[in-house]
């Protein structure tokens, strides 16, 4: 299995420091391609809109929503999942997956609580706030980047690395959410 180092980096660094066995092309792709669109106005607007409705949720309410999502995964009736994977921002994310020529396996955007705002496909859970992808970006602050170990992802069934970024409102400078981009590790060799 491929392995990369766990780390958080500010976006201002020119090249993320991957472990020796990680493909250098992945680090270049993160720096040169992903950073060009991860703070798009559509992403900021989607997060801002959802933050207005979820910022006051209790942890119990968040866990209840996560349980509803998990119950819908694989079911025929999926109103909660549909709201995340069929909104206009999800279409924008799918466009980036399609344009990536197999490099991107999935993309999902999270609000200030770590809840899915939009996703290119179905994620295994709704609440990312209890995971490193959110905690090592949103909690770190503006410019934070976290690249997780390359491993088999259960939702995409590919060996992937996940590059996660804090998303900042350009008007206020405040961190408002995060985005995770799944990268097909084999596409970078």
Per-residue model confidence as pLDDT tens digits over 131-156:
999 999 999 999 999 998 888 877 77
Do the Cβ atoms of 162 and 38 come closer than 8 Å? Answer: no
> What's the full length of the chain, in residues?
189
The CATH number given to 21-188 is: 3.30.450.20
Question: Can you give the pLDDT at residue 127?
Answer: 98
| Phi and psi torsions of 170, nearest 5° | -65, -25
DSSP string covering 68-137, please? Answer: HHHHHTT-S--HHHHHHHSSHHHHHHHHHHHHTTTSEEEEEEE-TTSBEEEESS--S-SB-TTSHHHHTT
User: Any bridge partners for residue 146, and if so which?
Assistant: 8, 164
Per-residue pLDDT reduced to its tens digit, 47-59: 999 999 999 999 9
Mean pLDDT within 88-117: 97
- For residue 9, name the pLDDT band (cuts at 50, 70, 90): very low
110 vs 20, residue with greater confidence: 110
Whole-model pTM: value is: 0.88
């Amino acid at each position: 299995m491929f392995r990369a180092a766990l780390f958080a980096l500010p976006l201002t660094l020119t090249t993320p420091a991957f472990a020796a066995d990680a493909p250098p092309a992945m680090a270049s792709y993160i720096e040169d391609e992903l950073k060009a669109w991860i703070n798009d106005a559509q992403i900021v607007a989607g997060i801002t809109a959802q933050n207005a409705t979820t910022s006051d949720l209790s942890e119990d309410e968040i866990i209840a929503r996560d349980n509803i999502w998990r119950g819908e995964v694989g079911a025929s009736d999926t109103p909660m999942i549909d709201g995340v994977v069929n909104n206009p921002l999800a279409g924008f994310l799918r466009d980036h997956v399609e344009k990536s020529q197999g490099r991107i396996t999935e993309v999902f955007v999270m609000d200030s609580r770590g809840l899915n705002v939009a996703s290119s496909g179905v994620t295994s859970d709704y609440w990312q706030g209890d995971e490193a992808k959110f905690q090592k970006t949103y909690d770190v602050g503006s410019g934070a980047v976290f690249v997780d170990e390359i491993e088999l992802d259960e939702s995409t069934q590919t060996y992937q690395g996940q590059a996660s970024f804090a998303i900042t409102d350009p008007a206020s400078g405040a961190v408002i959410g995060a985005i995770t981009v799944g990268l097909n590790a084999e596409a970078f060799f």
